[in-house]
Amino acid sequence: MAKSSSAKDSPTKDSPTKDSPTKDALSKDVLTQAPQSKDYPVVVYGASGYTGSLTCEQLAKLKIPFIAAGRSMEKLEAVVNPLRAQGALCEAWAVSHTPPALRELFRGRKVVINISGPFSLLGAAVVDAALASGCHYIDSTGEQDFMFDMQREYDSHFRNAGLVLSPSTAYLWGPGIIAADICLETPGIDTLKVVYAPPSLQTMASLQSMVRLCRRQMYNIEKGELHPLPTGQLRYLPISNGEKRMALRLGSGEHTYLIGRPGIQNVDVFFASNNLAAAVPLFATWRQLSKVLSGDMLDRWSDVVIEKIKKNPGREEPESGRFVVDIEGTGPGGNVQITLNGTSPYLFTGFLCAITAQELLERAPLKTGYASVSQVLGTHHIMKRLEEIGTHCSVRVTQANVKAEQGSKKPEVADAPA
């Protein structure tokens, strides 16, 4: 059992640090001269990938000028050229993944959106460069170990600089923390259960990150403290849309934002995917191999295998890409049940990153340092923005009776919009 409720005491032994040589130059393409910062306040790093290109599209729709950055100029131009033809103000810039090149790219800008994973391999160098360049940082990670590392190493530095450090501004684990904050508006809620029920579509990078996540030690919150999670715990759970799915218990981003929050005792997060559940034996084997082989070697092996067997899907279809996120909050104060219904998780991620960048350009954040998107922008404000892409939230509150003599009365039940 972890002794502390702080990320400082939650080791993630396989995560490379910002000084790891594995983060050195990965490409011969080097940024030679960045365009004028005042014209392009936002950088999308990893812009040529599946989620990165969707993020660029959303920024263009919001008429936010941006730099699409990555390693391959050819792939980046394939993203920005159609957007420029439609009137978007954007540029493509190839850059090596080195501290000097990243700092030059970010110098004078306002917001860095990092879509370049796996984050346990590549992310720390981008966070460090964003801080050094005076930029807010948001990303699309789902890797809990990376999030704990960044919280431990950079929270105070970003806070002292008046900057935002907000990993997982994405489908994983953004909706859960937004809904958790809505739950916690009801006094006396101390236990949260979050269940993600995604569509079957998954990109190559997402699968790589999920395999990395499941190989590492994950943590949940029990009795107000971080506890190591056993590998491969599955439950057969009902979903609010009427389905039942096998769900994998995971260490998530919600845990990094909720640990140490006053009153929080227990937080469990489940990822309800029959396809992922079928891979649980592989995760257990991977964890056993990590006892005799280096974590870096296993990560490289898994990345290569996935690249060979997995191809990125086509664009998400709204009807087949529907997702559900169910959250239940319980405690002395009663019971709160929240359901978020939406479509197209990768589009959701691109939109959430884009509107967060937009808000940070237009007004001061509500919280700086290591903070969730709901802490940065306000829970109900961000939910209102998410309605723009068809994400809706229903809330059902059953309040406990406060006085003992009222114990025989029926509980009060109220339905309310977010």
The label of the residue with tokens 């799915």 reads 245
Given this model, what pLDDT does residue 52 score? 97
Burial call 180-212: b when 16+ CB within 10 Å, e when fewer: bbbbbebebbbbbbbbbbbbebbbbbbbbbbbb
Interatomic CA distance for residues 414 and 338, integer angstroms? 12
Amino acid symbol at 90: C
On whether the CB atoms of residues 212 and 299 are closer than 8 A, the answer is yes
| pLDDT over 90 (residue 89) | yes
Residue from 132, 151, 176 nearest 15 by CA: 151
| pLDDT over 60 (residue 382) | yes
Interatomic CA distance for residues 252 and 270, integer angstroms? 9
pLDDT in tens, 41-76: 999 999 999 999 999 999 999 999 999 999 999 999
| pLDDT over 90 (residue 319) | no
Given this model, what pLDDT does residue 290 score? 75
Interatomic CA distance for residues 270 and 287, integer angstroms? 19
> Which CATH architecture best describes the domain 7-169+345-381?
3-Layer(aba) Sandwich (3.40)
| pLDDT over 70 (residue 107) | yes
Residue from 104, 135, 110, 99 nearest 40 by CA: 110
pLDDT in tens, 284-300: 777 778 778 777 787 77
Q: Where are the domains of the chain?
A: 7-169+345-381, 174-343
Residue from 269, 265, 255 nearest 188 by CA: 265
Positive/negative CA dihedral, 139, 55, 51, 169: positive
Residue 415: pLDDT band with limits 50, 70, 90: very low
Amino acid symbol at 166: S
pLDDT in tens, 184-223: 999 999 999 999 999 876 666 777 777 777 778 899 999 9
In sequence order, the 6+-apart residues with CB closer than 8 A to the CB of 100 are none
pLDDT in tens, 322-381: 999 999 999 998 999 999 999 999 999 999 999 999 999 999 999 999 999 999 999 999
Interatomic CA distance for residues 346 and 343, integer angstroms? 9
Given this model, what pLDDT does residue 9 score? 41
Given this model, what pLDDT does residue 37 score? 59
**The CATH homologous superfamily of the domain defined by 174-343:** Dihydrodipicolinate Reductase; domain 2 (3.30.360.10)
